[in-house]
Amino acid sequence: MSGTVTVSIENGVANILMDDGKANVLGYDMWDQLEAAFDQAEAAGAVVILQGRDGIFSGGFDLKEMGKGPQNALELTARGSQMARRILAFPTPVIGVSTGHCIAMGAFLMLACDYRIGAAGEYKIGLNETMIGMTMHNFGIELARYRIPLAYFSRAVINAEIWSPEDAISAGFYDRAVPLEHLGAAAAKAAEMFGNLDMGAFNGTKNKSRKGFLELLDQCIAADLVPPSA
């Protein structure tokens, strides 16, 4: 695959890389390419490593596309929710590798991953929606409630607090942070660890344990598509 998203599959590991040369904004084209990349990984039964370009995992939704009208904004938001839900239910492990800044919808993708590794450094991680004038969507609130510790929930979702990679561990966005030069090795080690699992048992346990939560998220996606005035 060529373009913004590339995927390479080797030894049971699918490396999916987002790189638009800028902030890795999440618009329709990026979602289409990510879906195709995950289709390849699923067909191969591969463990997934999802990462961004040097310095940034993703800055969130493409605000130019969001600004094309209220209905377009609702539909683009739903596409992001559907992708995050797919990761939450994906049959093989998905390792999120944050190569730098990880903001808004980018942070939600990271929250959806089974294991999250962030690059240490002067990077910003968090949900800035209320800072930039956006009311958080139902899906985002419930995903955050599921993954973010209670003591950090209001700070993250309502207050739009932004964290360093190290503090993002306590806040629930990352599982660990490593120096940038060690990020590749850490991701490979995590993929090796997950590769030792029985994938049938992993998939069964993952989806069985999240059954009620995934049903809730489906309800949230439907509700988020209803215009506020409806």
- Residue 24: per-residue pLDDT: 96
Mean pLDDT calculated for residue range 157-169: 98
Say what percent of the chain tops pLDDT 70: 98
pLDDT tens, 50-107?
999 999 999 999 989 988 888 889 999 999 999 999 999 999 999 999 999 999 999 9
CA dist., res. 34 & res. 190, Å (int): 21
Three-state DSSP state, 63: helix
- Residue 128: per-residue pLDDT: 97
- Domain edges within the chain: 5-224
Q: What contacts 208, CB < 8 A, 6 or more positions away?
A: none
- Residue 2: per-residue pLDDT: 42
Three-state DSSP state, 38: helix
Q: Which residue is listed with tokens 């660990």? A: 176
Mean pLDDT calculated for residue range 143-163: 98
Above 70 in pLDDT, residue 33?
yes
Above 80 in pLDDT, residue 144?
yes
Whether the predicted model's global pTM rises above the 0.85 cut: yes
Mean pLDDT calculated for residue range 99-125: 98
Residue 160 falls in which region: left (phi positive, over 0), alpha (psi -120 to 50) or beta: left
Q: What is the DSSP letter of 53?
A: B
Above 80 in pLDDT, residue 127?
yes
Mean pLDDT of all residues in the chain? 96
- Residue 228: per-residue pLDDT: 81
Above 60 in pLDDT, residue 1?
no
- CA quadruple 64, 36, 5, 69: dihedral, nearest 10: 0
Amino acid making up residue 141: I
64: exposed, middle or buried (Cβ count in 10 Å: 0-12, 13-18, 19+): exposed
- Residue 3: per-residue pLDDT: 61
Quick one: pLDDT band at residue 230, thresholds 50, 70, 90? Answer: low
* Closest among 96, 105, 102, 100 to 47, alpha carbons compared: 96
CATH dotted code for 5-224: 3.90.226.10
Mean pLDDT calculated for residue range 203-223: 98
Please tell me the least confidently modeled range out of 25-39, 59-73, 126-140: 59-73
Say what percent of the chain tops pLDDT 90: 92
Q: What is the DSSP letter of 118?
A: E
How far out from the chain centre does Cα 150 lie? 20
Q: Angle between the 28-44 and 70-89 helix axes, to the nearest 10 degrees? A: 20
* Closest among 98, 116, 118, 111 to 152, alpha carbons compared: 111
Is 221 within 8 Å of 139 (Cβ atoms)? yes
Above 50 in pLDDT, residue 155?
yes
